[in-house]
Structure 1
């Protein structure tokens, strides 16, 4: 697994510094990763199959929680 899940946006040193000082929300990073993985999965499988696979990858989350993360509006 990649240590810097935001590597497309910030370099590893910056990520480590932010993480060290607890300057970002880990839940938001997790949700970002879930949405990114879902988009990649949708290129190869149905929405339902992608959601099922995400639940296998994140068994601590309810199916509906994953669905809300994936489909939540970006404008809040």
Structure 2
């Protein structure tokens, strides 16, 4: 399994935590969605276009669900 939070923990630690079922995969998914949304916005996409791009990767989610995720999940400050 790929480590979607490699900015925070090492791949080895991620695998170990996953092995012992110590990860909240929904929170990790939401964190990844927020990060992807920000990347799309940085690339110049409008907000709605960025959400649509995220929905292509998570087709089981609704537009409003993604919108709630991107506006509620706090990302750590860069360099913190």
TM more than 0.5: yes
Give the TM-score taking structure 2 as reference length.
0.85
Structure 2 SS opposite 1:38: helix
Runs of 4+ in 1 over 2 A off after TM superposition: none
Higher relative contact order (CA 8 A, sep 6+): 2
C-alpha RMSD over aligned residues: 1.3
Partner of 1:5: 4
TM-score (norm 1): 0.89
Structure 1 unaligned blocks of 5 or more: none
Structure 2 unaligned segments of length 5 or more: list them: 75-80
Measure how far apart 1:73 and its partner are.
5.4
